[in-house]
């Protein structure tokens, strides 16, 4: 086992402090994911948006005793010794590089074959599929999910242990210079180049440059697998004299595809290999899956898997869920649906999501046997039990003969079943209440049946919320702030339609400073769901004052009358925090300078009141047109806030900027900013929209498709008139779902199978009709109302409104699904 002392030989760095010999078992780069402090080595990485050095004390107090720090963090050896007397500390130039060095060293301890995969698309699927087709002969270790970055690759490779017989790791890069590092960590002996995308790619000047960079992964491989129909790739591989094993649809290759025929749900492939002709059936028909499967085929042929077995192996292929979904379920429960595969690394990731999203809820895990692992069974289930315990899982349900065999490791309260059917037979819905349930099962256990038992009925329309995009956007704004500027995030109006509790939970996990809601009830709901961050309530009515106190919510106070009413509701002896709203020109809510004399008198009479912050709001932060007015508001705010501080005799937190203001007035962030729409993916000033990621996708389905003749009409008031013969699709969304009636009669468009289709006729309450003439559309097809391809900004412009309205209009009857990649 590797110990800290041995590390210094592997990682180039300076030993600052060595106190005790400790084993290095777990590598940690994200302080929030600490689960087993003993044996953890923490790498403090300074990222674009965050800095691991900020969390050292916290980790130390939770028991971590081994750290890799960066010289640039400027922590003197003396200070470190004082703060962390029991820790082993190594200082390096670059922590990420150190992590890669350690992983590269670890990789070099093993002589097994390792397949490296890169390419524009399909890396993760090819990796998962290869594991499916090769696992009968091999103990496979592979990258969890799509861990293919500079950080993800070393963490993936670290999993390698002596029981594995084959490694499969994917590598993804975004600019020149990155692949050499990943190649050193993976050290592949076999390679797969999945495909070459034509899309413009920012980090590269040309497709050729991208190909050459990616080929660096394969400098040392015994053989590279690829499709030689990618001509530019083929030429480059030949020029570099990399040994290859290829397939093609058009030319002679090691495996030449003679024909591809699709029938119903199957694809029949005829190919030749070593002068013989073979026939193969694949259980899908789309181009991407066929390409991915052919990569798997050539690997099987190269590895001499008996030809008679190939069909059987490829029958194992099934869709790979690329994301973890989280849904509301029966009796106030949440369900994390991860039912496609079950290995140790994937389990750890799912448990992290469960703990991160639901810090305060009871955690339950339903877990099947783990199928692909390099560990002896007993050690495997010991590790699983330890993981569950470290993630504070309260209830465990094991499904399958293997996990049942090791029941003893899971504590007295765990329950075991031989099969999914057994579980379902004994399932009683009322046994599950207000908990968060992770259902994680290997494919053969068909856990989708369990998921169904927990799920609410689905109304065809769903709003999908991408949690990774939310975090990206949060970090984007964070990076604009000075380290001591605080961040308040607006989660009013159901977090702009995205689901207030789920979003608030994520924000709490990512340590924002404050939340704000419009009404007391919204704050109460957050508290009832375990949100402990301070919460400002912007429009508290007198009848909610008691609730504010009961739930520790802080009111915005905007007028003398309101303050008067508030103080009369208070009890002596406690402290009460308030936020003062100042009107600097918006003319909505807020004190004006003339109120101050009275205000100070009232505050003097009520010393139990403590002003936490003074703030105002810009009327035109998003538009240059209003710059002069904004500057004037800011100047007024400064002098009013100064007057408040002088009047009360202490300093308060000052803030005036919303999302657009954060971008446009970096010099006026003051002590705190209030992030709203930007978090949800809309850059309101318009100048930096590309830096944000879209968060929500609203989807529905086609209910019926019909043909109508020229001259017939569609929908209410006969507004949709067919000027020629048409095909019409009725889709399951209407204005009651929040689909604005102004989208009627061609104003709106939806996307079906990648094509934009105009609305025809008036939008109805629960449905509307779209013109799909000439397109291949059938009942059940998915329809995107808005999302990455149909942006909120464009749609809002079409009907003369703003993205805020479209987002917050999505009605509560639309089911929200949250997911992480
Ligand atoms: C809603 C709101 C914000 C956030 O505005 P965005 O434009 O969504 O960033 C900030 N401050 C106040 C007072 C608000 O009501």
Render 195-251 in DSSP notation, one character per residue: ----S--TT-SSHHHHHHHHHGGGTT-SEEEEETTSHHHHHHHHHTT--EEEEESSS
CA distance 398 to 818: 25
**What mean pLDDT do residues 242-258 have?**
96
Q: Residue 740's domain is classified under what CATH number?
A: 2.40.37.10
| Spatial contact of 815 and 462, defined as CB atoms under 8 Å apart | yes
Distance 660 CA to ligand 1 centre (A): 9
Distance 656 CA to ligand 1 centre (A): 10
Q: Residue 427's domain is classified under what CATH number?
A: 3.90.190.20
Q: Is the pLDDT of residue 35 over 60?
A: yes
Residue 43 maps to a domain: yes
Residue 37 maps to a domain: yes
CA distance 211 to 207: 6
Q: Is the pLDDT of residue 135 over 60?
A: yes
**What mean pLDDT do residues 542-570 have?**
95
The number of the ligand 1 atom at minimal distance from the alpha carbon of 661 is 9
- Ligand 1 contact via 658 beta carbon (within 6 Å): yes
Identify the active-site residue in 492, 581, 654, 726. 492
Distance 630 CA to ligand 1 centre (A): 15
Give residue-wise pLDDT tens across range 113-123.
Answer: 999 999 998 99
Active site residue 492: yes
Q: Is the pLDDT of residue 360 over 80?
A: no
- Out of 252, 281, 315, pick the residue that ends a domain: 315
Q: Can you give the residue range of the structural domain that contains 412?
A: 324-456
Distance 595 CA to ligand 1 centre (A): 24
**What mean pLDDT do residues 270-288 have?**
92
Q: Is the pLDDT of residue 372 over 70?
A: no
- In this structure, are 445 and 385 located in the same domain? yes
Q: Residue 77's domain is classified under what CATH number?
A: 3.40.1390.10
CA distance 342 to 372: 7
Q: What's the confidence (pLDDT) of residue 394? A: 93
- In this structure, are 288 and 238 located in the same domain? yes
Average pLDDT, the chain: 93
Q: What's the confidence (pLDDT) of residue 586? A: 96
Q: Token pair for residue 483?
A: 């380290």
Give residue-wise pLDDT tens across range 283-342.
Answer: 888 888 999 999 999 999 999 999 999 999 999 888 887 778 888 888 889 899 887 767
Check whether 443 is labelled as a binding-site residue. Answer: no
Give residue-wise pLDDT tens across range 10-31.
Answer: 999 999 999 999 999 999 999 8
Residue from 580, 587, 656, 676 whose mutation best tests the ligand 1 pocket (most atoms within 8 A of CB) = 676
Distance 490 CA to ligand 1 centre (A): 7
Q: Is the pLDDT of residue 688 over 90?
A: yes
- Between strands 815-820 and 324-328, the pairing is antiparallel
Q: Residue 168's domain is classified under what CATH number?
A: 3.40.1190.10
- Ligand 1 contact via 659 beta carbon (within 6 Å): yes
The number of the ligand 1 atom at minimal distance from the alpha carbon of 684 is 7
- Ligand 1 contact via 676 beta carbon (within 6 Å): yes
Residue nearest to atom 12 of ligand 1 (CA): 617
Active site residue 735: no
- In this structure, are 551 and 498 located in the same domain? yes
Q: Is the pLDDT of residue 265 over 90?
A: no
**What mean pLDDT do residues 461-474 have?**
94
Residue 365 pairs in a beta bridge with 396, 438
- Ligand 1 contact via 673 beta carbon (within 6 Å): no
The answer to whether the predicted template modeling score (pTM) of the entire model surpasses 0.75 is yes
Q: How confident is the model at residue 458 (pLDDT cuts 50, 70, 90)?
A: low
**What mean pLDDT do residues 407-432 have?**
92
Residue nearest to atom 13 of ligand 1 (CA): 617
- Out of 315, 348, 363, pick the residue that ends a domain: 315
Residue found under tokens 């109508």: 708
- In this structure, are 72 and 131 located in the same domain? no
**What mean pLDDT do residues 536-564 have?**
95
- In this structure, are 521 and 474 located in the same domain? yes
**What mean pLDDT do residues 454-481 have?**
88
Q: Is the pLDDT of residue 516 over 80?
A: yes
Residue 102 maps to a domain: no
Q: 331: phi > 0 → left, psi -120 to 50 → alpha, else beta; which? A: left
Distance 674 CA to ligand 1 centre (A): 6
The number of the ligand 1 atom at minimal distance from the alpha carbon of 496 is 8
Kindly give, in sequence order, each residue whose CB lies less than 8 Å from that of residue 515, ignoring residues fewer than 6 positions away: 488, 489, 490, 491, 504, 507, 526, 531, 533, 534, 535, 536
Residue from 516, 558, 590, 662 whose mutation best tests the ligand 1 pocket (most atoms within 8 A of CB) = 516
- Lowest mean per-residue pLDDT among 23-27, 203-207, 341-345: 341-345
Identify the active-site residue in 175, 710, 716, 778. 716
Residue 761 maps to a domain: yes
Q: CA 108 from chain center: how many Å?
A: 32
- In this structure, are 11 and 119 located in the same domain? no
- In this structure, are 686 and 726 located in the same domain? no
Question: For residues 370, 372, 376 and 379, what is the CA-based torsion angle, rounded to 10 degrees?
Answer: -50
Highest average pLDDT, of 19-33, 261-275, 444-458, 631-645, comes from: 631-645
Kindly give, in sequence order, each residue whose CB lies less than 8 Å from that of residue 392, ignoring residues fewer than 6 positions away: 355, 363
- Ligand 1 contact via 677 beta carbon (within 6 Å): yes
Distance 670 CA to ligand 1 centre (A): 16
- In this structure, are 69 and 176 located in the same domain? no
- In this structure, are 32 and 128 located in the same domain? no
The number of the ligand 1 atom at minimal distance from the alpha carbon of 492 is 1
The number of the ligand 1 atom at minimal distance from the alpha carbon of 804 is 8
- Out of 456, 491, 511, pick the residue that ends a domain: 456
Residue among 518, 550, 565 at smallest CA distance from 537: 518
Residue 104 maps to a domain: no
Residue 103 maps to a domain: no
- Ligand 1 contact via 674 beta carbon (within 6 Å): yes
Highest average pLDDT, of 320-329, 522-531, 648-657, comes from: 648-657
CA atoms within 13 A on the CB side of 327: 21
The number of domains in the chain is 5
Check whether 588 is labelled as a binding-site residue. Answer: yes
Residue from 488, 673, 674 whose mutation best tests the ligand 1 pocket (most atoms within 8 A of CB) = 674
- Ligand 1 contact via 655 beta carbon (within 6 Å): no
Q: How confident is the model at residue 457 (pLDDT cuts 50, 70, 90)?
A: low
- Ligand 1 contact via 490 beta carbon (within 6 Å): yes
Residue 730 pairs in a beta bridge with 704, 769
- Ligand 1 contact via 684 beta carbon (within 6 Å): yes
3-class SS of residue 537? strand
Q: How confident is the model at residue 201 (pLDDT cuts 50, 70, 90)?
A: low
Q: How confident is the model at residue 659 (pLDDT cuts 50, 70, 90)?
A: very high
Q: Residue 519's domain is classified under what CATH number?
A: 3.20.20.10
Q: What's the confidence (pLDDT) of residue 652? A: 97
Q: What's the confidence (pLDDT) of residue 127? A: 96
- Ligand 1 contact via 617 beta carbon (within 6 Å): yes
The number of the ligand 1 atom at minimal distance from the alpha carbon of 621 is 7
User: DSSP readout, 89-134?
Assistant: EEEES-HHHHHHHHHHHHHHT--S-EEEEESSS-HHHHHHHHHHHH
**What mean pLDDT do residues 519-541 have?**
94
**What mean pLDDT do residues 469-497 have?**
94
- In this structure, are 180 and 300 located in the same domain? yes
Residue 246 maps to a domain: yes
Q: What's the confidence (pLDDT) of residue 384? A: 94
- Ligand 1 contact via 656 beta carbon (within 6 Å): no
Residue 561 maps to a domain: yes
Q: Is the pLDDT of residue 200 over 60?
A: no
Distance 658 CA to ligand 1 centre (A): 5
- In this structure, are 255 and 374 located in the same domain? no
Distance 492 CA to ligand 1 centre (A): 9
Residue from 486, 488, 490 whose mutation best tests the ligand 1 pocket (most atoms within 8 A of CB) = 490
User: What distances in angstroms separate CA 770 from CA 30, 303, 715, 716, 740, one per listed residue?
Assistant: 47, 51, 11, 14, 14
Q: How confident is the model at residue 95 (pLDDT cuts 50, 70, 90)?
A: very high
**What mean pLDDT do residues 500-507 have?**
91
- In this structure, are 526 and 657 located in the same domain? yes
Q: What's the confidence (pLDDT) of residue 459? A: 58
């Amino acid at each position: 086992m590797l110990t800290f002392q041995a590390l210094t030989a592997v990682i180039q760095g300076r030993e600052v402090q060595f106190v005790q010999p400790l084993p290095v078992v777990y590598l940690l780069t994200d302080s929030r994911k600490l689960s087993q402090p003993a044996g953890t080595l923490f790498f403090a990485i300074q990222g674009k948006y965050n800095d691991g050095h900020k969390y050292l004390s916290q980790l130390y107090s939770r028991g971590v005793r081994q750290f890799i720090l960066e010289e640039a963090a400027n922590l003197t050896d003396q200070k470190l010794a004082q703060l962390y007397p029991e820790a082993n500390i190594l200082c390096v130039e670059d922590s990420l590089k150190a992590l890669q060095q350690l992983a590269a060293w670890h990789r070099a301890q093993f002589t097994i074959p390792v397949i490296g995969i890169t390419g524009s698309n399909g890396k993760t699927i090819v990796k998962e599929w290869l594991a499916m087709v090769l696992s009968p002969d091999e103990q496979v270790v592979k990258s969890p999910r799509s861990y293919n970055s500079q950080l993800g690759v070393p963490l993936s490779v670290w999993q390698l242990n002596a029981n594995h017989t084959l490694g499969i790791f994917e590598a993804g890069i975004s600019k020149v210079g990155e692949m050499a590092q990943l190649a050193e960590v993976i050290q592949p002996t076999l390679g797969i180049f999945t495909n070459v995308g034509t899309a413009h790619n920012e980090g590269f000047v040309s497709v050729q440059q991208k190909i050459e960079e990616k080929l660096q992964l394969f400098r040392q491989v015994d053989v590279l697998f690829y499709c030689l129909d990618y001509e530019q790739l083929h030429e480059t591989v030949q020029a570099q004299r990399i040994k290859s094993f290829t397939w093609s649809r058009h030319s002679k290759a090691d495996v030449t595809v003679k024909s591809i025929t699709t029938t119903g749900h199957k694809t029949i492939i005829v190919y030749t290999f070593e002068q013989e002709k073979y026939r193969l059936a694949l259980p899908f028909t789309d181009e991407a899956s066929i390409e991915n499967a052919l990569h798997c085929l050539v690997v099987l042929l190269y590895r001499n898997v008996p030809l008679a077995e190939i069909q059987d192996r490829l029958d194992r292929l099934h869709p790979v869920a690329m994301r973890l979904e989280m849904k509301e379920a029966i009796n106030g429960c949440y369900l994390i649906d991860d039912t496609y595969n079950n290995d140790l690394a994937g389990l750890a990731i799912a448990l992290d999501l469960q703990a991160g999203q639901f810090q305060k809820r009871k955690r339950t895990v339903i877990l099947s046997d783990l199928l692909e692992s390099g560990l002896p069974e007993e050690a495997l289930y010991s590790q699983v039990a330890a993981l569950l315990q470290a993630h504070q899982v309260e209830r465990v349900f094991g499904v399958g003969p293997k996990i049942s065999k090791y029941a003893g490791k899971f504590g007295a309260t765990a329950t075991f079943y031989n099969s999914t059917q057994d579980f379902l037979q004994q399932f009683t819905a009322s046994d599950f209440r207000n908990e968060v349930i992770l259902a994680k099962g290997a494919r053969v256990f068909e856990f989708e049946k369990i998921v169904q038992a927990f799920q609410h009925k689905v109304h065809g329309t769903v709003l999908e919320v991408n949690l990774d995009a939310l975090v990206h956007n949060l970090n984007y704004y964070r990076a604009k702030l000075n380290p001591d500027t605080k961040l308040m995030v607006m989660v009013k109006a159901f977090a702009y339609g995205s689901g207030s509790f789920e979003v608030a939970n994520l924000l709490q996990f990512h340590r924002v400073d404050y939340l704000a809601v419009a009404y007391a009830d919204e704050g109460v709901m957050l508290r009832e769901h375990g949100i402990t961050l301070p919460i400002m309530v912007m429009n508290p009515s007198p009848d909610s004052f008691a609730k504010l106190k009961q739930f520790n919510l802080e009111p915005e106070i905007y007028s003398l009358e309101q303050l008067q009413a508030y103080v009369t509701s208070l009890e002596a002896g406690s402290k009460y925090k308030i936020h003062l709203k100042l009107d600097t020109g918006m003319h909505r809510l807020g004190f004006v300078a003339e109120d101050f004399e009275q205000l100070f008198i009232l505050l003097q009479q009520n010393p139990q009141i403590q002003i936490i912050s003074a703030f105002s709001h810009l009327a035109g932060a998003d538009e240059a047109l209003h710059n002069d007015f904004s500057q004037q508001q800011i100047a007024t705010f400064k002098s009013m806030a100064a007057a408040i501080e002088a009047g009360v005799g202490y300093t308060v937190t000052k803030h005036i900027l919303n999302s657009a203001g954060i971008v446009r007035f970096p010099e006026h962030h003051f002590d705190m900013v209030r992030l709203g729409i930007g978090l949800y993916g809309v850059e309101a000033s318009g100048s930096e929209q590309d830096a944000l990621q879209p968060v929500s996708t609203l989807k529905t389905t086609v209910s019926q498709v019909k043909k109508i003749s020229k001259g017939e009409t569609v929908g209410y008031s006969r507004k949709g008139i067919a000027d020629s013969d048409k095909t019409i699709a009725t889709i399951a969304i209407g204005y009651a779902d929040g689909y604005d009636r102004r989208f009627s009669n061609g104003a709106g468009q939806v996307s079906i199978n990648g094509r934009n289709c105009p609305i025809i006729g008036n939008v109805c309450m629960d449905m509307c009709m779209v013109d799909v003439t000439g397109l291949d559309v059938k009942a059940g097809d998915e329809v995107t109302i808005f999302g990455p391809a149909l942006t909120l900004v464009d749609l809002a412009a079409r009907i003369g409104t703003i993205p805020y309205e479209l987002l917050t209009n999505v009605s509560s009857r639309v089911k929200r699904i949250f997911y992480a990649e």
